[in-house]
Amino acid sequence: MSIELPPSAAPRPALPQDVLPAAVRRRLLGLAGTGTPVAAYLYDGDVAAARARELRAALPDWASVYYAVKANSFPGIVQALAPHVDGYEVASLSELALATAAKPAAPGAPAPVVAAGPAKSLPVLTGLVEAGVEAINAESPLELHRISRIAVERGTTARVALRVNPAEIPVTGSLHMGGEPSAFGVAEPDVAEAVRLALKLPGIDLVGFHIHAASNNLDAGSHAAYLRWCIEWSAATAAAHGVDLRHIDVGGGIGVAFEQDFKDETPFDVALFGELAAATPPPAGVKVALEPGRFLVADCGWYAAEVTDVKHSYGQSFAALRGGINHFQLPTSWDIVHNVAVLPVDAWPEDVPRPEATGPVTFVGELCTPEDTLLRDVRVGRVRAGDIAVFPYAGSYGWEFAMHAFLGHPVADRILL
């Protein structure tokens, strides 16, 4: 059996500790003095809010920003974003509860929520209908039938956008093109039949379409072209099938340069994206929804784990952490080099030898599997047992994406700065 590990960082150096904000360093050093091994996510709500304001300011008025709660569901972050986003994208009842608590519906208006997910259960669909969300992104004919029945039983009508798996998106760049078999959405050849069904079902108000075919795209030009294509496709399809188009959801997909220290990555140009997007407005009265997740919150979080031991084996050095993929699975899951900064902690018992390493070091976790590897072969000035390894850009798909139950170790704390 082959073991999938993150790519080697060699010969690159670790991040200097001064990349960590002073507030992060202070809080971690305070935690280090409590006697409990440090294992925590630190979040800064102001950083997330600033990122949302940046995107919102760059976009034209007809574009709306719905934060994808799955990226970071910590209540403090969801609340911090509330004044700066138009609403939330959710995929479960727990996320729906977070969203409606953070941003309640205005009187007489739908809840500012759009909902996604390829296998929505009856309880989830019921909760979405009862909450009166802005759009349920329907994934199949059966889901359309279920939504309609739930709505009719409650004497209401549910606003629905049909999720589409397009045959092809003629846009270059870092996009996941359509036309491939997928559990997500309705294949484009079947859209006409699904639209006819939605239009005749009594409990459904078909408001538009949902297309999510982009992933971690760093190219602002190609992402603007993708948005333009989604608008044009939706308008043409609505006109061809008699849909009263009011809503186009283009999904997320704005990227984060996680590996700019190791690859030729340039952060996403928000201003250019907004400028290019504004050049092709949708038909009058149509709202265009974007669902950014990682882009809004990646840099608002830091994962920190105490170095419990430093080991040397056959010419290689290992820093073993109080944590690992049970807390922070992102580097292994996404096959990326996710760099680290080492925060020195001076306190150490005088009568206990303190192991340390310099040069290339591999950072591993506490689990009984060699797959529990967060970073390989990164060059450090010095790392000692008792120091704290801190991974920036851990605000998205970090705590939410981890293997919390494996081996039963305590989960990482989550702290709002």
- 3, 279, 368, 405: which one is catalytic? 368
DSSP secondary structure code for residue 351 in this structure:
T
Q: Nearest 5°: phi and psi at 164?
A: -120, 135
Is the same domain home to 197 and 334? no
Upper half-sphere CA count for residue 77 (Cβ side, 13 Å) = 31
Distances (CA, A) of 348 to 31, 354, 366: 14, 8, 21
Is the same domain home to 313 and 235? no
Average pLDDT by consecutive 10-residue portion of the chain (417 residues)? Answer: 80 96 97 93 98 98 97 98 98 98 96 96 98 98 98 98 91 66 89 98 98 90 95 98 98 90 88 96 97 97 98 98 95 91 96 97 95 96 98 96 90 96
Amino acid at site 76: G
The Cα–Cα gap between 291 and 69 comes to 9
**Is 300 among the residues known to form the active site?**
no
Give the number of other CB atoms < 10 A from CB of residue 400: 15
Examine residue 316 and state whether it is found in any structural domain, yes or no.
Answer: yes
Examine residue 12 and state whether it is found in any structural domain, yes or no.
Answer: no
**How many residues would you count in the chain?**
417
Nearest to 78 by CA among 33, 115, 48, 37: 48
Residue 230 sits in a domain whose CATH number is 3.20.20.10
The Cα–Cα gap between 92 and 90 comes to 6
**Residue position matching structure tokens 């529990």:** 372
Q: Contact at 8 Å (CB) between 319 and 356?
A: no
The Cα–Cα gap between 305 and 327 comes to 9
Examine residue 7 and state whether it is found in any structural domain, yes or no.
Answer: no
Q: Is the peptide bond before 110 cis (omega within 30 degrees of 0)?
A: no
Examine residue 332 and state whether it is found in any structural domain, yes or no.
Answer: yes
Q: Contact at 8 Å (CB) between 290 and 85?
A: no
Of 249, 281, 297, which one is at a domain's C-terminal end? 297
Of 241, 274, 297, which one is at a domain's C-terminal end? 297
> What is the pLDDT, as a whole number, of residue 1?
45
Is the same domain home to 114 and 261? yes
Q: Which two tokens mark 353?
A: 């030898």
Is the same domain home to 199 and 333? no
Cα 171 from chain centroid (whole Å): 23
Q: Contact at 8 Å (CB) between 89 and 69?
A: yes
Is the same domain home to 50 and 88? yes
The Cα–Cα gap between 399 and 284 comes to 41
Q: With DSSP H G I counted as helix, E B as strand and the rest as coil, what are the percentages for the chain, rounded to 5?
A: 35, 25, 40
Q: Which two tokens mark 231?
A: 């608008």
Is the same domain home to 360 and 287? no
Q: Which residues contact 175 (CB under 8 A, 6 or more apart)?
A: 169, 213, 214, 215, 217, 222, 226, 253
Domain count across the chain: 2
Examine residue 9 and state whether it is found in any structural domain, yes or no.
Answer: no
Cα 313 from chain centroid (whole Å): 36
Examine residue 10 and state whether it is found in any structural domain, yes or no.
Answer: no
Is the same domain home to 185 and 229? yes
Nearest to 136 by CA among 208, 201, 193: 208
Is the same domain home to 83 and 35? no
Look at residue 78 and give its three-state secondary structure. Answer: helix
Which domain, by its residues, includes 285?
A: 46-297
The Cα–Cα gap between 216 and 29 comes to 33
Is the same domain home to 88 and 196? yes
Is the same domain home to 211 and 340? no
Of 238, 265, 297, which one is at a domain's C-terminal end? 297
Look up the pTM and report it: 0.95
The Cα–Cα gap between 159 and 403 comes to 35
DSSP secondary structure code for residue 64 in this structure:
E
DSSP secondary structure code for residue 129 in this structure:
H
**What one-character-per-residue DSSP string does 231-298 give?**
HHHHHHHHHHHT----EEE----B---TTTTTS------HHHHHHHHHTSPPSTT-EEEE--SHHHHG
